[in-house]
Structure 1
Amino acid sequence: MEWFADSDYWLSRLVFQRALAAVYLVAFLTAALQFRALIGEKGMLPVPEFVRRTRFRDAPGLFWPYYSDRLFALCCWTGAALSAALVAGAADRLPLAVAMAWWAVLWVLYLSIVNVGQIWYGFGWESLLLETGFLAVFLGNERTAPPVLVLLLLRWVLFRVEFGAGLIKIRGDRCWRDLTCLYYHHETQPMPGPLSWFFHRLPRPLHRIEAAASHTVQLVLPVLLFTPQPVATFAAAAIVLTQLWLVLSGNFSWLNWLTIALALSAMNLSHLAAPPAHPPPSPLWYEITVIAVTGAVLVLSYRPARNLLSRRQQMNRSYDSLHLVNAYGAFGTVGRMRMELVVEGTDETRPHEGTVWREYGFKGKPTDLRRLPRQFAPYHLRLDWMMWFAALSPAYARPWFGPFVQRLLENDRDTLRLLAHNPFPDAPPTHVRARLYRYRFTTWRELRTTGAWWHRTFVREFLRPTRLSR
């Protein structure tokens, strides 16, 4: 079938696969370095308890019927090793079936992690990685020309990511319609980066231009991805540029980098490097498999497509336990004020009005007023992100905040590894409390005179002083 493949996308596929493998690598490393405190056997939300109350068909994976921290760590480090090898191009010279199996193993490993990750893995970029990773299984390697159907399915993913985000903004917060959301967003986003303070201090007319550009990129350019070249390449290149702008302005885990990888798959880069001369024809079994998978994805796309057209559009939702075709979106509403939880402890036996409380430091989320926000993305600081949600509403904290405080009172080693600073290195605190503050970026004058990037105002108690029950 001559229509089945297009050699013009040989380099595009190569770049996409290497980029996707790099994202997989970061995702597996993130899981390996954080899971014990979050979902391990002694974690805040232990996997064994979750598995006991969940049916396999609702969260399929490798951890039924047996789970151990060693098995989970083995899955993480195996995934990291396989991903690193793919970044180096290990699958390019392998037989097609072996290369497909390699990508399939990565997908199964990460699916197993996400499906027991509970609230810690409830972010849209988890499903995006799984959906993209599933399609990558059928993209082939150097032994075949890139299959057109899979390339189109990758564009369909990118379309839903961008168009879904654009629609949720227009339908959601009024400030997106009057172009004022970016007056607040850089300050109130979940995890600001080192340049976020400077982005926030841009003149307001530039913020309005930012918002208008966002609408153009997310509501117009995705449609052009399905037009003939070179228009599709220009649209994809513009998406890449806007994603790099987002990389500079904040920390959004691997969402931006995975979106960039998807955009690169839509670009015709044949003028940069010629494909191998006369690639062999695709095996019949491979063509049949790709056609069958395409048909299945189109059927599963009905509900996500209907969601795009719905006035009650939902964002970041999976419609099946395999996360094959999902709904995406971001920042349908933008907060006008930044709330932050500050967690403190004391070693005094009985807290009183003059008690000295010492703050726990977090790696990414703002606590220290004089500390410039750091760049962590594409690495994902799961606890820091959930602390941001907890500051928005106690409902987000209900499942895990109590166990978190308990582990601080025990000086739990794995939990403390998630933090930047433990004020009680020698012995655990006697009491821990949490207080809610309003944070705002300082002005230029405040920064020059105080050296502080943030200013904060006490709002209320979030958790009264708590100690371990005897």
Structure 2
Amino acid sequence: MEWFVAPDYWLSRLVFQRALAVVYLVAFLGAAVQFRALIGERGMLPVPRFLARVAFRDAPSVFHLRYSDRFFAAWAWAGCAVSVALIAGLDQRLPLWGAMVLWLVPWAMYLSIVNVGQTWYAFGWESLLLEVGFLAVFLGNDEVAPPVVVLFLLRWVLFRVEFGAGLIKMRGDSCWRELTCLDYHHETQPMPGPLSWFFHHLPRPFHRVEVAANHFTQLVVPVLLFTPQPIATAAASLMVLTQLWLVLSGNFSWLNWTTIVLALSAIEFPATHPRVAGPPLWYEIVVLAVAAGLLALSYRPARNLISRRQVMNRSFDPLHLVNTYGAFGSVSRVRHEVVVEGTADPVPREDSEWKEYEFKGKPGDPRHWPRQYAPYHLRLDWLMWFAALSPAYAASWFTGLVERLLENDRDTLRLLRRCPFPADAPPRYVRARLYRYRYTTWPELRETGACWHRTYVREFLPPMRLEWVDQSR
């Protein structure tokens, strides 16, 4: 069936697959490095405790069979190894069925991690990586040309990512309709990047242009993905440029990068494609059957798009095969940060020497300039932003964080930029305070060298000692 394949997209497939393998590598690397403090046996939200109350059918994962920190570490590092093999092009050296199995491995491995990750893995880009990764299984290798139906499904995902984000903005906050959201967003976003301060200080008329351009890219351009070439290529290229702009303006894990990877699959790169044999019948049957199943599962995400009660970043099945996406349906006007401090004094007082813990990505010391971490995901830093929005977001894990700081837990301290206490002398008490943060002005920056100015708001958590934490658990 000549209609089944699109030979002109063989280079698009190659670029897409290698780039997706890089995203997989980043995801597995983050899991391997951070899991012990977050979901390990002695983590803030231990996997064994989660598995005791959740059935396999609700959260399919290999860890239902067995869990230990050593096994999880081996699993995550094995995922890194598979990702490196895909980056190196091992799938092209295998027969078609072998390449499909190889691409299935990181998807199944990362699904096992996400489904036990709980709050730490409740982000839209986890489901996005899994949905895109599942489609990559059926793209084939150099033995066959890329299947048209899989390329279409990749565009369908890209459409839902962009169009869903555009709709959630228009429905969620009046500032998007008034073109004023970027007056606040660069300052209040979850984890600013090194250029976010400068983006915030761009002229307000330019912010209006930014918002208008965002609406055009998310509400108009996605429709053009389903038009003939070269219009589809132009639309996908515009999405790539928009996502690169977002990469420069903040740290959004691999959300922007996965969107770029998706857009690359829709670009028809000028290249001479090799002559390949027609796809085997079994491959055509498998691809068409999977495509039919995914289209059937798309009903609920599609209905969500047109619903007045649209939800964002929702998975409708435990395998994360077809999901709904969206971000920043509402934009905070004021930035709050939870600042965690400890003291070695035997009795905590206001005049005690309280020393501040420094996180890697989230704002803390006003003089500490944000760094670029994306596509790497600092999970604790992101959840600290949510904690500042409402203590309810931190109810399940914040006490565990305090307990581990009181113990000078090595794995937890590795998630931080700086611990103010020596390894053999943990603090007697730990407390948390809520501050309002704002970017400094140009004159303030020149005078103080600080990119942030902060003002104390209220107590977030009173001074706690280890014995009290143990009794409250």
**SS, match of residue 350 in structure 1:** coil
1:352: how far off?
1.8
**SS, match of residue 372 in structure 1:** coil
State how far apart, in whole Å, the 1-side matches of 2:142 and 2:312 are: 36
1:75: how far off?
1.1
State how far apart, in whole Å, the 2-side matches of 1:468 and 1:76 are: 32
Q: Which moved more, 1:57-66 or 1:388-397?
A: 57-66
Q: Which residue of 2 aligns with 1:228?
A: 228
> Post-superposition, which runs of at least 4 consecutive aligned residues in structure 1 deviate over 4 A?
none
Partner letter of residue 440 of structure 1?
A: R
State how far apart, in whole Å, the 2-side matches of 1:386 and 1:353 are: 27
| 1:238-268 Cα shifts (integer Å, max 9, x gaps) | 0000000000000000000100000000011
| 1:407-432 Cα shifts (integer Å, max 9, x gaps) | 00000000000000000124100000
1:353: how far off?
3.0
State how far apart, in whole Å, the 2-side matches of 1:247 and 1:274 are: 32
| 1:160-203 Cα shifts (integer Å, max 9, x gaps) | 00000000000010000000000000000000000000000000
**SS, match of residue 92 in structure 1:** helix
1:354: how far off?
1.4
State how far apart, in whole Å, the 2-side matches of 1:93 and 1:67 are: 34
State how far apart, in whole Å, the 1-side matches of 2:222 and 2:465 are: 53
Q: Which residue of 2 aligns with 1:305?
A: 302
| 1:226-247 Cα shifts (integer Å, max 9, x gaps) | 0000000000000000000000
Partner letter of residue 436 of structure 2?
A: R
**SS, match of residue 93 in structure 2:** coil
Are the aligned partners of 1:93 and 1:143 in contact in 2 as well (CA < 8 Å)? Answer: no
Q: Which residue of 1 aligns with 2:39?
A: 39
Q: Which residue of 2 aligns with 1:254?
A: 254
Partner letter of residue 77 of structure 1?
A: W
State how far apart, in whole Å, the 2-side matches of 1:401 and 1:127 are: 25
| 1:396-415 Cα shifts (integer Å, max 9, x gaps) | 00000001000000000000
State how far apart, in whole Å, the 2-side matches of 1:353 and 1:419 are: 25
Q: Which residue of 2 aligns with 1:429?
A: 427
State how far apart, in whole Å, the 2-side matches of 1:366 and 1:217 are: 30
Partner letter of residue 430 of structure 1?
A: R
Answering whether residue 60 of structure 2 is matched by residue 60 of structure 1, we say yes
1:89: how far off?
1.1
1:342: how far off?
0.2
1:101: how far off?
0.3
State how far apart, in whole Å, the 2-side matches of 1:34 and 1:354 are: 35
**SS, match of residue 164 in structure 1:** helix
State how far apart, in whole Å, the 2-side matches of 1:456 and 1:235 are: 42
State how far apart, in whole Å, the 1-side matches of 2:7 and 2:170 are: 38
Answering whether residue 323 of structure 2 is matched by residue 326 of structure 1, we say yes
Q: Which residue of 1 aligns with 2:281?
A: 284
Q: Which residue of 1 aligns with 2:128?
A: 128
**SS, match of residue 15 in structure 2:** helix
- Unaligned 5+ residue runs, structure 2? 469-473
State how far apart, in whole Å, the 2-side matches of 1:331 and 1:406 are: 32
Answering whether residue 374 of structure 2 is matched by residue 368 of structure 1, we say no
Partner letter of residue 456 of structure 1?
A: R
Partner letter of residue 439 of structure 2?
A: F
State how far apart, in whole Å, the 1-side matches of 2:264 and 2:288 are: 23
1:93: how far off?
1.9
Q: Which residue of 1 aligns with 2:471?
A: none
State how far apart, in whole Å, the 2-side matches of 1:64 and 1:367 are: 38
1:74: how far off?
1.1
**SS, match of residue 372 in structure 2:** coil
User: What number of residue pairs does the alignment pair up?
Assistant: 467
The 5 A counterparts of 1:455-466 are 455-466=453-464
1:468: how far off?
1.0
Q: Which residue of 1 aligns with 2:160?
A: 160
The 5 A counterparts of 1:377-456 are 377-425=374-422, 426-456=424-454
Residue in structure 2 matching 1:353, options 350, 354, 361: 350
Partner letter of residue 109 of structure 2?
A: L
**SS, match of residue 440 in structure 1:** strand
**SS, match of residue 435 in structure 2:** strand
**SS, match of residue 433 in structure 2:** strand
Give the root-mean-square deviation of aligned CA atoms.
0.6
**SS, match of residue 214 in structure 2:** helix
Are the aligned partners of 1:162 and 1:329 in contact in 2 as well (CA < 8 Å)? Answer: yes
Partner letter of residue 59 of structure 2?
A: A
Partner letter of residue 262 of structure 2?
A: L
Q: Which moved more, 1:311-320 or 1:59-68?
A: 59-68
State how far apart, in whole Å, the 2-side matches of 1:342 and 1:28 are: 29
State how far apart, in whole Å, the 1-side matches of 2:250 and 2:405 are: 28
State how far apart, in whole Å, the 1-side matches of 2:60 and 2:41 are: 19
Q: Which residue of 1 aligns with 2:13?
A: 13
1:449: how far off?
0.4
Q: TM-score with structure 2 length normalisation?
A: 0.98
Partner letter of residue 241 of structure 1?
A: L
1:88: how far off?
1.4
**SS, match of residue 338 in structure 2:** strand
State how far apart, in whole Å, the 2-side matches of 1:274 and 1:370 are: 53
Residue in structure 2 matching 1:340, options 324, 337, 340: 337
Q: Which residue of 2 aligns with 1:170?
A: 170
| 1:322-372 Cα shifts (integer Å, max 9, x gaps) | 000000000000000000000000000001231110000000000011111
**SS, match of residue 56 in structure 1:** coil
Q: TM-score with structure 1 length normalisation?
A: 0.99
State how far apart, in whole Å, the 2-side matches of 1:358 and 1:225 are: 53
**SS, match of residue 437 in structure 2:** strand
State how far apart, in whole Å, the 1-side matches of 2:191 and 2:84 are: 27
Partner letter of residue 330 of structure 1?
A: A
The 5 A counterparts of 1:173-252 are 173-252=173-252
State how far apart, in whole Å, the 2-side matches of 1:7 and 1:267 are: 13
**SS, match of residue 334 in structure 1:** coil
- Unaligned 5+ residue runs, structure 1? none
State how far apart, in whole Å, the 1-side matches of 2:349 and 2:266 are: 63
Percent of residue pairs bearing the same amino acid type: 73
State how far apart, in whole Å, the 1-side matches of 2:238 and 2:349 are: 58
| 1:67-122 Cα shifts (integer Å, max 9, x gaps) | 11111111111110110111111111210000000110110000000000000000
Q: Which moved more, 1:135-144 or 1:65-74?
A: 65-74
